[in-house]
A and B are shown apart, each in its own frame.
Chain A
Amino acid sequence: MHIMARTLCMAAGLAMLAAAGSANAVESANEPWPSLAASLFKDRPLLDGTGVIAIEMPARAEDAAIVPMTLRRTLAASDGRTVKAITVVIDENPSPVAAVFSFGDKANVSALSTRVRVNSYTDVHAVAELSDGHLYVVKTYVKAAGGCSAPAVKDAAEANAGLGEMRFRVFPAAAKAESAPREAQIMIRHPNNSGLQMDQITHLYIPAFFVDDLEVWQGDELVVGMKGGISIAQNPSLRFTFVPNGANFRVEATDTEKHAFKGSWPAAGM
């Protein structure tokens, strides 16, 4: 059951990423969101997501290459539904779909933070898919970074060093209770190069090279998964809350050049 749901989710995610590319190509100079939404969600109704999820970003992208973003589940505990996935769309970026996050049934992830690139003044939409199949949307607006901040890698020669190295950390528990939610962070070293630029030495376009798939597991239970695009910042980082199940952690990731990266860590101490 888990496996099937996961496969379906992956297929949907890939379709979304592909659709986003074509949506961008035909984008008008006006508001990109209506056609992005139509293309990504096949005209399924997008309900107001207030009280379902929230998206937090700074009002201004300070460093265009590293803009913190937090997604929170605000769905009332009494609501019987769960959040299955959240799609993050940075409307004005060259490839608007930043990521599709999927959530395991039992890990109960209620907050997720990552870092994205922001090219210009833009709406950022987060669309949650709930367990009943309904879609809910929230948005925020981010002003572009000022001055000479570009959404590019800072140290190009060093960016490929330690490719795929992972760091995983479970933060100390705030409460003693065994079932209390905990917080963890996975980081993976990767240039997550957005491509598209002309390399003036070789006169070739640098191909995009990024982590396209990352999953965090506790034993056989998915905690959180990410289908990533080029808008995820260099050295992707996911920080998330979860409920420990006592099993060891396992992280599996791949990039667009089919490198596979794996890591495992002991269970979160109670």
Chain B
Amino acid sequence: MAHSRLWRCAATAMLMMLAWNTVADGAESKIAPLDVTQIAPGVFVHFGRIALMNRENVGAIANVGFIVGTESVAVIDTGGSVREGRELRAAIRAHTNKPVRYVIDTHMHPDHVFGNAAFVGIGAEFVGHANLPRAMATHGPHYLESFRESMGSALMDEVRIVPPTITVSGTLDLDLGDRRLVLQAWPTAHSDNDLTVLDVASATLFAGDLLFVGHVPVIDGSILGWLKDLDGLGAVAAQRVVPGHGPLVTDWPHGMSDERRYLNCLVDELRAAIRGGVPMAQAVKSACAAESDRWALFPEYNIRNATAAFAELEWE
């Protein structure tokens, strides 16, 4: 008797699961799950391609992931398109039936948040830096427009700017059930809304774009602020660190040394150029040429970085 009730209960649960899948995840069921790697128990990462966002890679160039507790799941970044976001949901469903309770945006950039819309309407809270709402407001409309060229309308038409429902100043603890995440909002560095996520149980740090490995760092905040934040970031006791772009880092804080060297190079060379009266347009062309062979996408971003750094360092 007890047996049959148990069976009925299980059957009901299975039916509910099926219903959930067809109603809530209707679109998802046809979608191939994103390829993810379990880098620690309950910690999964999709390592994005080192590339610019385009139609072919559906914007899947950033590292995105999820962490599974005994009660719920936290997603860390949703990818560069709603399609990638749906594939990430499919990957989550392939590994757990626990609900997604938090969607954490590490910062405003399109390759990290364009997938947000795939997680709307499932009861999840969106979590971001206290500056994220403003950054989305001031940058979002431009992103929606400017990525049409490289991504195409089919991908871009469904992208929505989804602002956070929970914002973080300083630190915030989230509990996934026997699993504590420590979120930390950083002063302006890569952007003015960088947020990191530390999974205490596995000592895994999701650094967002405060850490680039292999992919040349991109400055959209403050180069001096970034160098300062690296000191604090290096002090985090992490056994492994997931960069925003590039492979997993297991030698922390040594794993940030390339990034630090590149940023210091820009600071040193551009300070010298400013002191010597070299005009911006000229100084940025040749800045840190010695670094060019050490990074992917160097031609795409180095002049931009040097320009932003020059404009900042001029006011020291």
Whether chain B is bound by chain A comes out as yes
Seen from chain A, the residues whose Cβ lies within 8 Å of a Cβ on chain B are: 56, 58, 62-66, 68, 70, 113, 115, 119-120, 144-158, 167, 169, 171-172, 183, 187, 189, 197-201, 206, 233-235, 237, 239
Q: Using known A-B contacts A113-B279, A200-B163, determine if residue A62 contacts B138 with beta carbons closer than 8 Å.
A: no
B-side interface residues, number (CB < 8 Å)? 43
Structural contact, B218 and A187, CB atoms closer than 8 A:
no
Which residues of the other chain, B, contact A63 by a CB distance below 8 angstroms? 304, 307-308
Q: Using known A-B contacts A167-B315, A200-B163, determine if residue A150 contacts B139 with beta carbons closer than 8 Å.
A: yes
- Complex-state Cα separation, A4 to B134, whole angstroms: 45
What are 19 sample pairs from A and B whose C-beta atoms fall under 8 A apart? Answer: A70-B279, A113-B279, A144-B149, A148-B110, A148-B143, A149-B304, A150-B146, A152-B139, A154-B220, A154-B221, A154-B308, A155-B192, A155-B222, A156-B138, A171-B277, A197-B137, A200-B134, A200-B163, A235-B314
Which residues of the other chain, B, contact A68 by a CB distance below 8 angstroms? 279-281, 284, 307
Closest chain-B Cβ to A90's Cβ sits at a distance in Å of 15
Closest chain-B Cβ to A163's Cβ sits at a distance in Å of 13
Structural contact, A156 and B315, CB atoms closer than 8 A:
no
B234 interface contact, C-beta 8 A: no
9 closest A-B pairs by beta carbon, nearest first, are A62-B304, A68-B281, A200-B133, A62-B303, A200-B137, A150-B139, A171-B277, A150-B142, A63-B307
SS of B interface (majority)? helix
Within 185-214 of B, Cβ neighbours of A (below 8 Å) are at 188, 191-192
B248 interface contact, C-beta 8 A: no
Q: Which of A70, A115, A156, A158 contacts B135 (CB 8 A)?
A: A156
Structural contact, B301 and A201, CB atoms closer than 8 A:
no
Q: Using known A-B contacts A113-B279, A154-B220, A233-B311, determine if residue A199 contacts B304 with beta carbons closer than 8 Å.
A: no
Structural contact, A152 and B307, CB atoms closer than 8 A:
no
Q: Using known A-B contacts A62-B303, A63-B307, A147-B53, determine if residue A158 contacts B163 with beta carbons closer than 8 Å.
A: no
Structural contact, A115 and B280, CB atoms closer than 8 A:
yes
Closest chain-B Cβ to A96's Cβ sits at a distance in Å of 17
Which residues of the other chain, A, contact B300 by a CB distance below 8 angstroms? 146-147
Closest chain-B Cβ to A69's Cβ sits at a distance in Å of 8
Q: Using known A-B contacts A68-B281, A200-B137, determine if residue A151 contacts B221 with beta carbons closer than 8 Å.
A: no
Closest chain-A Cβ to B195's Cβ sits at a distance in Å of 15
- Complex-state Cα separation, A66 to B304, whole angstroms: 9
Closest A residue, CB atoms, query B311: A66
B109 interface contact, C-beta 8 A: yes
Structural contact, A235 and B281, CB atoms closer than 8 A:
no
Which residues of the other chain, A, contact B137 by a CB distance below 8 angstroms? 197-200, 206
Which residues of the other chain, B, contact A199 by a CB distance below 8 angstroms? 134, 137
A-B contacts besides A62-B304, A200-B133, A206-B138, 16 pairs, CB < 8 Å: A56-B281, A62-B303, A62-B307, A63-B308, A115-B280, A119-B142, A144-B149, A147-B301, A150-B146, A155-B192, A157-B188, A169-B277, A187-B314, A189-B315, A200-B137, A235-B315
B34 interface contact, C-beta 8 A: no
Closest B residue, CB atoms, query A152: B138
Which residues of the other chain, A, contact B163 by a CB distance below 8 angstroms? 200
Q: Using known A-B contacts A154-B221, A156-B138, determine if residue A145 contacts B311 with beta carbons closer than 8 Å.
A: no
Structural contact, B311 and A235, CB atoms closer than 8 A:
yes
Q: Specify which of A150, A152, A199, A235 lies most central, judged by the most chain B CB atoms within 10 Å of its CB.
A: A150
